């Protein structure tokens, strides 16, 4: 049994995402989007606006994950597939992206809903990953969700350079026997590069969503359906 770990949890989030801070964050989000809609680059804009409001690094990360230009938002909405299409063929999953989001939700960590309607965590995977006590619960929920929508075949892509990717592969395959869904797990050098060329992708990663052919908003679906008491910050007015 893995010791109890809280993925993406920060005790300061109560303060940083309190109702009074949310008002300021929504206003800042509006200002950032006004600027990036006029072709200003996102990083200096988030720094500029973040400095003005004296936001913490965590609040700035939330803003970066939440904002989106109008043009990109239109493209993302046009690519988004409805859940009833899950049963129509192979699903290509950004493994770490999906599993970590659910682990964060189960850990009481903060998740942000942005302008494009995708839900993103603030865990910030930086090449290191450890299987925690929430991992098995996350896999159980993933299987339950895909079974509910009659998935025929799913393929997870995991970045091989990330630590413990091999262990996670075997953990997924172990759970796939319980799911009863045809499941493959591929360890690849860079999952983003593979996924951005595919359709029927599961990811909330902005780069993948912008480049892939089509995608499902599965993390949000699973979290809203099964994890009622999680900490969701909605920065949309």
Q: pLDDT tens digits, residue range 93-105?
A: 999 999 999 999 9
- Give CA–CA dist 6/134, Å, rounded: 8
**Residues 1-53: tens digit of each pLDDT:** 445 678 878 899 999 999 999 999 999 999 999 999 999 999 999 999 999 99
Distant-in-sequence contacts of 50-53, Cβ < 8 A, 24+ apart: 52/28, 53/24, 53/28
What is the DSSP secondary-structure string of 179-213? HTSEEEEEEES-HHHHHTT-SSEE---HHHHHHSS
- Residue 158 sits at φ, ψ, to 5 deg, of -120, 140
Partners of 52 in beta bridges: none
Q: Judge residue 137's burial from the number of C-beta atoms within 10 Å of its C-beta, 0-12 exposed, 13-18 middle, 19 or more buried.
A: middle
């Amino acid at each position: 049994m893995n010791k109890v770990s809280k993925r993406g949890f920060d005790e300061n989030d109560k303060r940083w995402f309190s109702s009074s801070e949310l008002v300021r964050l929504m206003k800042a989000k509006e200002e950032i989007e006004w600027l990036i809609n006029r072709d200003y680059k996102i990083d200096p804009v988030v720094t500029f606006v973040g400095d003005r409001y004296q936001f913490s690094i965590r609040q700035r990360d939330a803003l970066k994950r939440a904002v989106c230009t109008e043009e990109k938002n239109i493209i993302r909405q046009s690519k988004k597939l409805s859940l009833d299409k899950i049963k129509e063929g192979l699903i290509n999953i950004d493994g770490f992206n999906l599993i970590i989001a659910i682990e964060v939700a189960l850990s009481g960590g903060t998740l942000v809903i942005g302008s494009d309607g995708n839900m993103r965590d603030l865990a910030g995977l930086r090449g290191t990953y450890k299987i925690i006590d929430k991992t098995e619960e996350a896999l159980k929920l993933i299987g339950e969700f895909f079974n509910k929508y009659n998935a025929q075949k799913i393929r997870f892509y995991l970045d091989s350079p990330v630590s413990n990717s091999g262990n996670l592969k075997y953990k997924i395959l172990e759970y796939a026997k319980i799911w009863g869904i045809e499941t493959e797990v591929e360890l690849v050098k860079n999952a983003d590069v593979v996924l951005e060329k595919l359709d029927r992708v599961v990811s909330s990663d902005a780069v993948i969503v912008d480049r892939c052919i089509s995608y499902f908003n599965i993390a949000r679906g699973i979290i809203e359906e099964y994890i009622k008491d999680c900490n969701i910050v909605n920065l949309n007015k």
